[in-house]
Structure 1
């Protein structure tokens, strides 16, 4: 039998692995004869048909308990298999979701890097354009200074 917990339908408790419900004590034939003497004052011999019926009933109960134990083992095996299958399916789904989440995060990161690269290209173009304008303005400023100095020196001489 499995080490999995067992549900006891009589008490509604979950028994720990290895625990078994307490066995039902079967009445022996001697106890049955003694009870009949106590309760009814009647002594019954060992060849009495009623005692034979009790013996058959006890044998039936032993066989029935064996069938029930086999049935419990089969149910436990089915539940274990079903539980393992469900756990594997959940693990597969979680792995898939984790993979999808990681892929989505990477896709978002790559998209962000691509947008940043485009923004950097735009910034480089703008800086190049500004640099040209600054070079032209600097050249005009130097030409203006040179012209002003030339005029100033020609006035001073």
Structure 2
């Protein structure tokens, strides 16, 4: 009897932690991938959210995924080319031909103060063009972009300014 009890205790001692580990790390458990993604998202600050959005949306050519990951469902966008909500941003970006290697973007400056972040960059939307000088302004709260503005200025063929736009 003692051997059977000891064996049962040993088996239970091994099985219980294994079962608990499988449950806590499963898709339904408290340590699921969704849980960790939400915790990681909340932990991102203004600069990290902006950089992650720029990397995924432009560098990795996944604008829809980037907007869904980093923009609040209630985002307010002030770009005159969109209706001003998250879906209109996605629709606008989906119309771009991302397979051609453009738009190509070079970030010149990122400035962050609290929940506001500014990205100053050079964007070339079509090969052979001079492109545009762009400033995107993001308001980030709780790991999500909640508001966005942009200011765009075409890079002229010739400039009187000896320093150039960048």
Answer yes or no: same fold by TM over 0.5.
Answer: no
Q: TM-score range by the shorter chain?
A: under 0.3
Structure with bigger helix share is: 1
Q: Whose relative contact order is higher, 1 or 2, with alpha carbons under 8 Å and at least 6 apart?
A: 2
Q: TM-score, normalised by structure 2?
A: 0.25
Q: TM-score, normalised by structure 1?
A: 0.27
Larger Rg over CA atoms: 1
Structure with bigger strand share is: 2
